[in-house]
Structure 1
């Protein structure tokens, strides 16, 4: 049983009329893995997650979640998964206790199981406030943690987190990701979408989607090596930026990658021209060698294709 992937997707396609939201994708997610699912808005990430949560039938292709698929019935899938959407999903005008009790009733948990799971999961997220606290009165980071607790109430094998830290402080994001790593250590599979590249760095593997297709899938380190096999450079202008020069550099066929990063630029050169380009650019820039980030990878293969 342990050899069965937590999630297996084969030739999945989802269409809405003439529009193809997900286009013939295939991948697997290992049990206990933190799997990142990245892409620009409209790339097909949320549609894929809706299928994997049993909320939307595929147009074609096959999926298996926790060893079950749509042939078993969508309710069998829903029992295997927990889902936390990018928008806060609890009721602001209810207390924490009322929210969790309501979700337990939807999940058909008996009172004894609910109390046991409630106490366990609130202890897991280190929730110290009264259960009579209204959700609307909780800080954003605490709300997200309670929402995670709600998605875990029925003890799912796989937890889908759709941009779970949007709008919370960096400190709250760090605490939330500590909880994610703790869940993975308990052999839970975490399937997460995020726009924060520092969060993506913490995933075991990452799939990058563009216009409904998976364009890359590997570990963060391997993706950086694949997308930037040569040296990456940071260019710091010595004076005021010359827009004519910058436009010329963007059009130079010997420069494979050139993007602004704040007041500086990141660039990759054709290997045969690297030494000559570096020498020439040092007249206008301070040039130093750097390691690529996942943001560089994302811009080059996801955003860059649309420019």
Structure 2
């Protein structure tokens, strides 16, 4: 779906509410993600980031509102090969090689041997393809997990805190990989509680207590709030909301 300026929105969230018992977890969220963009979902732990991601994947019950991805409701069978996800904790098999992990997940989506090789190459792990996950660094293991998600050629990639806990150089390398995906037309939603990650994103979704405080570029947020860095901008938005 395109807006009046011709921008193609791949993912649309409309008035999304999620409750658990008497607790309101997500409170009327609205956002649009355009094709080939990187959107940072940034906020403190417990603010609802993972719940939103689960809803986008179609594995979280929605109380009201809607999520459309590529013109289909979240969780639709036709989206299974078009939307990929990596969890905050490593969710691949640690005792087998990078290649065998990617090949296994590739079989689940009908990927070919060429697809497996391409996925490993896209995350720059050709030299480590035969190495068990336990023999990789943290950043390399994260890239192996990404390869498993990419093997089906998804159009939307949802990543839950993929860079948290990594050293600065490894984080920078991963963001370069993410930027390469976006250049190929993949739409990325990347969560983090590290506010500085905003500088790598086309837009940020600042989130607090189940609500969005902003959806715009970090440069726009800082200019609007008169602040010098993402953390100050986030704190300024909190003050405005109160």
Cα distance between partner residues in 2 of 1:166 and 1:50: 19
| Alignment correspondent of 2:162 | 164
Give the SS at the match of 1:173: helix
The equivalent of 1:21 in structure 2 is 25
Q: 1:130 to 1:45 in 2, by over 3 A?
A: closer
Say whether the 8 Å CA contact 2:207–2:213 is kept in structure 1: yes
TM-score, normalisation: structure 1: 0.73
Quick one: which of 71, 86, 89 aligns to 2:88? Answer: 86
Q: Secondary structure of 1:166's match?
A: coil
Kindly state the Cα deviation for residue 76 of structure 1 after the two structures are TM-superposed: 2.5
Q: Does 1:61 align with 2:65?
A: yes
CA-CA distance at 1:224 after TM superposition: 0.5
- Whole-Å separation in 2 of the counterparts to 1:74 and 1:56: 13
Alpha-carbon deviation of 1:305? Answer: 8.0
1:173 to 171, 174, 189: 171
Report the Cα offset of residue 295 of structure 1: 1.2
Are 2:15 and 1:11 aligned?
Answer: yes
Report if the CA contact (8 A) 2:84-2:149 is conserved.
yes
Q: Distance in 1 between matches of 2:157 and 2:66?
A: 20
Partner of 2:218: 220
Distance of aligned partners of 1:119 and 1:64 in 2 relative to their CA distance in 1, 3 Å threshold:
same
Larger RCO, structure (CA 8 Å, separation 6 or more) = 2
Tell me how far apart the structure 2 counterparts of residues 83 and 221 of structure 1 sit (CA, whole Å): 28
The CA distance in 2 between the partners of 1:124 and 1:11, in whole Å, is 36
1:85 deviates by 1.2
Q: Structure 1: how far apart are the matches of 2:77 and 2:174?
A: 28
Q: For structure 1, which runs of at least 5 residues remain unmatched after alignment?
A: 229-290
Contact 2:119 2:151 survives alignment (8 Å): yes
Q: Give the drift of 1:212.
A: 0.6
Residues 139-288 of structure 1 correspond to what in structure 2 (within 5 A)?
139-228=137-226
Q: Partners in 2 of 1:8 and 1:74 — Cα distance?
A: 14
Does residue 292 (structure 1) correspond to residue 222 (structure 2)? The answer is: no
Consecutive unaligned residues in structure 2, runs of 5 or more: none
Q: Quote the Cα distance in structure 1 between the aligned partners of 2:240 and 2:24.
A: 19
CA distance in 2, matches of 1:202, 1:131: 28
Question: 1:80: Cα distance to partner?
Answer: 1.8
| RMSD of equivalent CA atoms | 2.0
Separation in structure 1 between the aligned mates of residue 241 and residue 32 of structure 2, nearest angstrom: 27
1:37 aligned partner:
41
Is the CA contact (8 Å cut-off) linking 1:55 and 1:74 kept in structure 2? Answer: no
Q: CA deviation at 1:226?
A: 1.4
Residue 244 of structure 1: aligned partner: none
Structure 1, 46-55 or 116-125: larger mean CA deviation: 116-125
8 A Cα contact 1:65 1:80, kept in partner: no
In structure 1, what is the Cα distance between the partners aligned to 2:79 and 2:128? 33
The separation in 2 between residues aligned to 1:50 and 1:44, in whole angstroms, is 10
What is the rounded CA distance, in whole Å, between the counterparts of 1:181 and 1:42 in structure 2? Answer: 27
Aligned length: 238
Asked which structure has the greater CA Rg, the reply is 1
Shift in Å, 1:124: 1.6
Normalised by the length of structure 2, the TM-score is 0.91
Q: Which moved more, 1:198-207 or 1:183-192?
A: 198-207
Aligned to 1:249: none
SS in 2 for 1:94: coil
Matched with 1:115 is: 113
* In structure 1, distance between residues paired with 2:193 and 2:180: 21
